[in-house]
Amino acid sequence: MSGALGNRRGVAMVAALWLVVAISVVALAFSIDAKDRRTLGINAAERGQAYAAALGALATTQAAMDVALRSNRQNVGALAGTRSGDPWMFPDSLFAGPVYIDSVRVDVMARDLGTQLNINLVDVNQLKAFFGYTLGDYAKADQLAATITDWRDLDDTPQMNSDEIDGYIKKGLLALPANGPFRQVSDLLMVEGMTPEIYALVANDFTTYGTGQINVNTAPVEVLRSIPGITDNIIANILNQRSRGLRIASIAQLVPGAIAVGRGGRGGATGAQNMANIQVAQLAQAAGVNTNQVLLTMFVKSAPQAEPFKLTALMQRGGTTATITWK
């Protein structure tokens, strides 16, 4: 009988131990779940704080850009040919830098979109001119211009020296043409003929934002080369103005003879003046003289352990108002 009692006690002890283990496992599961929920809550709070700080920095920067536009009204006349004539000129100097929102640091970057080519809007001839000047290899320039435009166009008919989906498949290329717009500049690396070396050389000259209008006062030479109708003399004139601390006040100023027509040469314009006027109209389709669109990027790290947060906004100049058109 004592043996039976001992067996019952042993079973009870084992059951008790199993119960303790079960309770411990359940408690551990609850603890892990609570920790995960706490981590998710902290991350959500930090992300919310970062987003609020980024919006605050965006509002602060927008206000500064508004003030610059309103303060510039008196400078439109005699100072139009100086930097004062464009209150947003060189936004990376004027509007970039750290902004503190309730002690949270937000690093603001600003980029004049007139200094870049919109890879989704630039045409094949502009791409040829850009790559030809940048690479000094016109055969490669022709190929890249064709493959880039074939990548984004809607049809499946390849241009000369290019491929569409069938060609990419036959060559065993990993990515296939999107037959749609580039989502980001780095997508260029998937285009046939684009090497990492070429990409590193040209990536900073491309964007997927903005209207594609080129700012003749701030764009680098390789971007200026892509403007239809531009010549070596016009580029030399632009660079000469820059070296003297001046800016082009109008596209007509770039073409000798066109200014006289613009001042009222009605009906009596010579053939040369008419040709100059046509050239101005061609240049004006792709180029302007002001910084009209600025891409703002806000980087926030609300806490040392927090994930970095980024907010991007497109600022459009409209009269004396800075308007957010996309964020």
Which tens digits make up the pLDDT trace of 203-219?
Answer: 999 999 999 999 999 99
pLDDT < 50 regions, the chain: 261-266
Q: Say what the pLDDT of residue 299 is.
A: 96
Q: Are 289 and 250 in contact (CB under 8 A)?
A: yes
Give residue 33's pLDDT: 59
In the chain the first and final C-alpha atoms are separated, in Å, by: 83
Chain-centre distance for alpha carbon 193: 23
For 16, counting Cβ atoms within 10 Å of its Cβ (0-12 exposed, 13-18 middle, 19+ buried), the class is exposed
What is the pLDDT, as a whole number, of residue 262?
43
Annotate 128-166 with b (16+ C-beta within 10 A) or e (fewer): bbbbbbbbeeeebbbbbbbbbbbbbbeeeebbebbbbee
Cα 325 from Cα 220, distance rounded (Å): 25
pLDDT of residue 261: 45
Which H or E run contains 105? strand 104-112
Which pLDDT score, from 0 to 100, does residue 263 have?
Answer: 47
In this prediction the pTM is 0.82
Residue 232 pLDDT: 95
Q: What is the DSSP letter of 86?
A: -
